[in-house]
Structure 1
Amino acid sequence: MSLAVKAVGVRKSFGSHEVLKGLDLEVAYGEVLCILGPSGSGKSTFLRCINHLEVPDSGYVWVDGSIMGYEHRGDVLQELPVARLRAQQRRLGMVFQHFNLFAHRTVLGNVIEGPMVVRGLRRTEAEARAMQLLDQVGMAGRASSYPAQLSGGQKQRVAIARALAMEPSVMLFDEPTSALDPELVGEVLEVMRGLAKGGTTMIVVTHEIGFAREVADRVLVMIDGEIRETGKPGQVLSEPGDPRVRTFLSRVLS
């Protein structure tokens, strides 16, 4: 099995609080993994460790077979220079809770910024690709709009298109619907369903249990910085073996 992401022994503390307690993970290309768990369980921190926005205190993460943030020089593992780390991070598209769009740029301007500045694409090429992606997420008709003119769901769909424009190997979603009004959640989840059907490798931190049941190839439940259970959605969500997972799911499914 070819692995898009592999994490081994990832630990992270903030002060005296150990947030991640030695996590191991493997994600295959084309797989959709949904990470569930109560607030404060370390889900978002783990996602940020995967793309090296947070540096693990110990343990390592590989993406596309390369260790994130480091390289071997002889027998010594040394930190990468910032420019090479940024090149690694471009393999991972990140969609946050709060969109992070450039307010002074149009929808189209937001999507072409990275490809032009970082990847060196010509404007015509970047715009053509951006319009394809905006059409894919149902936002081509708003290409000339500014973020302030969009709903939360529309902003998040633009954020997804912007991440896809960098042609990442893996898409990371950090609770992408948690900041949205309930009536806007469905439009974002529908875009994500389309990505999953198209074979996009996705790691999704989410509270949307129905989405995880429907779309995920595998779900993982984190509690107190530990992976307590992982497996097929039907098995984990319906017949969890871990008592703490059963308690968590009984609360969110009731």
Structure 2
Amino acid sequence: MSDVAPLVSARNVHKSYGHNEVLKGIDLDVFPGEVVVILGPSGSGKSTFLRCINHLEEMNAGSIMVGEQQIGYELKRGLLHRLSPRKIARQRQKIGMVFQQFNLYPHMTVLQNIIEAPVGVHKFPRHEAVAHARALLERVGLSDKADAWPRHLSGGQQQRVAIARALAIKPALMLFDEPTSALDPELVGEVLQTMRTLADGGLTMIVVTHEIGFAREAADRVVFMDGGVVVEQGPPEQVLTRPQHARTQAFLSRFI
């Protein structure tokens, strides 16, 4: 993909919380249409890096470009300046994110949850947002749940609604932060199947997960992080079956 510009380009990304240095210089490119799965032990910095891409966490040093923009900043006369929350929200329209917890509004129906950001934040015409939301519900297999309340849905259904909600702003990039970790085991499969469908459709995705099967089947590239650095990366058949680094080997041995 060297002749194609990356959609995400991270360079020397550092993030600390007090004296705890969580990210220690991350370099990573993600190309349009690519599915990148990030694996690693708890505390390795995976989720923090994902949140830095969306500027939910502010990095201490380095650069993350999404398209031609550094989310959260603008370049003026060679210096980076922080943007207002309103401008950051506008930038984030190209990025959808799905979290561990579903975070659906309990006082809104499924359809209302999905159209809230497109209409309220990004000013999509309401009729367009509703039509798109219904199409997304069909895409995630929940076309009959538009008028349901979140409390009446299973965890897997709620997470699929959360995926539809993230897609409602028509993002160029989707970030998934351990999207199945809060689910009962029997509900994990339906969410992973939805994600596989999105991957097959050519959506650019960065997925933090412990689901090795999903990484093997859906990823174009697997990135292994540990201790705040990228230890190794490559095609899933290489990283998952012939890992080169001892830390990767030790991590994967738990899943065999």
TM range (shorter): over 0.9
What residue number does 1:87 align with?
A: 90
What residue number does 1:102 align with?
A: 105
User: Does 1:46 pair with 2:33?
Assistant: no
Tell me the distance in 1 between the aligned counterparts of 2:229 and 2:191. 28
User: Does 1:118 pair with 2:115?
Assistant: no
Contact 1:11-1:21 at 8 Å conserved across structures: yes
User: Does 1:146 pair with 2:149?
Assistant: yes
What residue number does 2:177 align with?
A: 174
Contact 1:60-1:68 at 8 Å conserved across structures: no
Tell me the distance in 1 between the aligned counterparts of 2:200 and 2:244. 29
Query: TM-score, with normalisation over the residues of structure 2?
Result: 0.97
- Identity among equivalent positions (%) equals 58
After TM superposition, what 4+ stretches of structure 1 lie above 2 angstroms from structure 2? none
- Once the two structures are superposed, what CA deviation does each residue of 1:26-45 show, in whole Å capped at 9, x if it has no partner? 00000000000011111000
Q: Where do 5+ consecutive residues of structure 2 fail to align?
A: none
Shift of residue 82 of structure 1?
A: 1.9
Tell me the distance in 1 between the aligned counterparts of 2:249 and 2:15. 26
Tell me the distance in 1 between the aligned counterparts of 2:78 and 2:211. 44
| Structure 1 vs Structure 2 CA RMSD | 0.8
SS of the equivalent of 2:52 reads helix
Query: TM-score, with normalisation over the residues of structure 1?
Result: 0.98
| Amino acid paired to 1:151 | S
Q: Where do 5+ consecutive residues of structure 1 fail to align?
A: none
What residue number does 2:162 align with?
A: 159
Contact 1:111-1:162 at 8 Å conserved across structures: yes
Tell me the distance in 2 between the aligned counterparts of 1:71 and 1:116. 26
Contact 1:3-1:65 at 8 Å conserved across structures: no
Shift of residue 123 of structure 1?
A: 2.2
Select which of 18, 24, 44 maps to 2:21: 18
- Once the two structures are superposed, what CA deviation does each residue of 1:158-191 show, in whole Å capped at 9, x if it has no partner? 0000000001110000000000000000000010
Contact 2:35-2:204 at 8 Å conserved across structures: yes
Tell me the distance in 2 between the aligned counterparts of 1:237 and 1:136. 30
SS of the equivalent of 1:99 reads coil
Shift of residue 64 of structure 1?
A: 1.1
Shift of residue 69 of structure 1?
A: 1.4
- Once the two structures are superposed, what CA deviation does each residue of 1:172-228 show, in whole Å capped at 9, x if it has no partner? 000000000000000000100000000000000000001000000000000111100
| Amino acid paired to 2:29 | E
Shift of residue 122 of structure 1?
A: 2.6
Tell me the distance in 1 between the aligned counterparts of 2:80 and 2:152. 48
The number of residue pairs the alignment matches comes to 253
Contact 2:90-2:122 at 8 Å conserved across structures: no
What residue number does 1:32 align with?
A: 35
SS of the equivalent of 2:7 reads strand
What residue number does 1:190 align with?
A: 193
Contact 2:93-2:122 at 8 Å conserved across structures: no
Tell me the distance in 2 between the aligned counterparts of 1:242 and 1:225. 15
What residue number does 2:212 align with?
A: 209
Shift of residue 20 of structure 1?
A: 0.4
